[in-house]
Structure 1
């Protein structure tokens, strides 16, 4: 059995779920975790953040329920409403990081979300992946180069297709996959205890 974590790096609820996923992976170090990008802001949804009027209200709710941090640098980044959340770019970045250290995919996904929601770094910039990789002790130059390469773009598209095949409609979604059997462990907000109970039932 393995865990499949379907998230979007530009999803605040995914950011809030990071501590839960971190705790589950700590409790089950031998359980493989695959991270799949879901593609929340693509196509017609790739527009300036001002068009999503609910963002700051949603962030306040996420912080209240999960304790997630939304840093001053992030608030400055989105303050004028012009910032565009591009999930295809973020998925390319996840692919580049994942390729560098696949066994650390969950940790790197959380680090990337901190880079945006705490440090206010755009997930469309190669420099962001350079910084995240360097902090994680990976080859920063290789990860930044991979972000702009064709393999990462292909993997991003493959991630979106995989999320659709699993029938995921909300982010984050945590799945337990055992052969052809797929069990939903959590969607949106969930505590580690709740996930643990669902995992035991699976």
Structure 2
């Protein structure tokens, strides 16, 4: 069995789930974790953030319910409303990081959300992946090269397709996948204890 975490790096609720994900992974070091990026802001949804009028209110609710922070860097980045969230670029970045360190999927996915939601770094900027890689002790040149490679585009498309195949309808979604059996452990929000109980019922 493996855990499959379907998230979008530009999804505030996924950011809110980050502490839970890290706790689940720390409790279950024996369970492999596979991270899939979702295509939340692609196509016609790739527009300036001002067009999503609910963002600030939703973020306040996420912070209150989960305890995660939305930093000053993030506030500055979105202040004039012109910033465009591009989930395809973010998915390429996730793929690039995981290509260099596939066994650190959960850690790197949550680090990327911290880079955006705390530090206000664009997930379309190669410099962001350089910084995340350096802080994680990875080969930053290799990560940036992977981000800019054609393979990263293919990996992003593969992730979007796999999310659809697994029936993921929103982010974050945590699944237990055992052969053909797919069990939803969390959708949107859950505690590590709740996920533990759901995992225990599968064994």
- TM-score with structure 1 setting the length: 0.99
1:194 is displaced (CA, Å) by 1.1
- Is residue 104 from structure 1 mapped to residue 100 from structure 2 by the alignment? no
Q: Residue in 1 aligned with 2:201?
A: 201
Give the RMSD, CA atoms, in angstroms.
Answer: 0.5
Equivalence map 1:44-193=2 (5 Å): 44-193=44-193
Any unmatched runs of 5+ in structure 1? Answer: none
Q: Residue in 2 aligned with 1:21?
A: 21
**Matched position secondary structure for 2:122:** coil
Runs ≥4 residues deviating over 3 A: none
1:122 is displaced (CA, Å) by 0.1
In 2, distance between residues paired with 1:136 and 1:44?
A: 34
1:2 is displaced (CA, Å) by 0.3
Any unmatched runs of 5+ in structure 2? Answer: none
In 2, distance between residues paired with 1:197 and 1:99?
A: 32
- Is residue 36 from structure 1 mapped to residue 60 from structure 2 by the alignment? no
In 2, distance between residues paired with 1:163 and 1:169?
A: 8
- TM-score with structure 2 setting the length: 0.99
In 1, distance between residues paired with 2:56 and 2:80?
A: 13
In 2, distance between residues paired with 1:59 and 1:166?
A: 27
In 2, distance between residues paired with 1:128 and 1:172?
A: 22
**Matched position secondary structure for 2:53:** coil
